[in-house]
Amino acid sequence: MKPTRLLIASAAAVVLAATVGAAQDSGQATGPMEMKSTGTPGKVAASRGFKVTATVKALDLNSREVTLEEAHGKTETIKVGPEVRNLEQVHVGDKVVVKYVQGLMMQMQTPGEAPVEPEAAVAAGRAAPGEQPGGGIAAAVRATVTITAIDMKNRMVVFEGPQGNLYQVKAGPEVHLEKAKVGDKLVATYTEAMAITVEPAKKAKSGKKSAPQG
């Protein structure tokens, strides 16, 4: 899913699917996250963010269809659901901005401790009637993961999630990676949050010049 698709839609399922595409298409916030020490033994964390923008190129209020143009020129037309308020305040030329942040916290589990089953939570907000269109959403997933590989030279760690998916992170220089081993279990909490706003189009500067004084 392209980043522009998430810029207007507010449904949680759409947003969560789109944020991944936004990170990949923007060329930012990709690759393994670098984990840093939190000061608590066995606990590390990481966070990163970026911004995606698009411009409204066309708008049909009757059909609730909006055509957006990404920074690199690609356009996409989307149909905006009724859950998105204040669409009538959006105009051609307006800029849609998404500020996106993702975070990851991992903590070693004690051997023999029961695994944490996957837990997910989503919270969303939207503009009040009459306000400039906008909104935000945050989601978190928490579960036990297992280390499956460690590359000490490059300080890369691969771990397996509860559904068998593999993920990779990088251990920062202050993380005591030598204390970790394949088979260790950690409780991982992954978070995604974004704020969506619409910025009015800038008024064009007048091209008229004053007449020379005689």
Please state, in angstroms and as integers, the Cα–Cα distance from residue 135 to each residue in 69, 81, 131, following that order. Answer: 20, 14, 11
Domain count, the chain: 1
Please state, in angstroms and as integers, the Cα–Cα distance from residue 144 to each residue in 1, 10, 115, 184, following that order. Answer: 28, 29, 5, 10
pLDDT over threshold 60, residue 28: no
pLDDT over threshold 50, residue 196: yes
Name the band, by pLDDT with cuts 50, 70 and 90, for residue 108: very high
Residue 209 domain flag: no
Range with lowest mean pLDDT among 84-93, 132-141, 153-162:
132-141
- Which structural domain, as residue segments, surrounds residue 37? 3-199
- Those residues whose C-beta lies under 8 Å from the C-beta of residue 63, and which sit 6 or more positions away, are 79
Which residue is it, tokens 């859950």? 83
Residue 177 domain flag: yes
Q: What is the pLDDT of residue 132?
A: 56
Burial 77-90 (b: 16+ CB within 10 A, else e): ebebeeebbbbeeb
Residue 213 domain flag: no
Residue 208 domain flag: no
Q: What is the pLDDT of residue 14?
A: 32
Name the band, by pLDDT with cuts 50, 70 and 90, for residue 17: very low
Residue 106 domain flag: yes
pLDDT digits (tens, 9 = 90+) for 75-97: 878 777 666 667 788 889 988 87
54 or 38: which carries more pLDDT confidence? Answer: 38
Residue 204 domain flag: no
Range with lowest mean pLDDT among 34-48, 113-127, 147-161:
113-127
Residue 141 domain flag: yes
Residue 214 domain flag: no
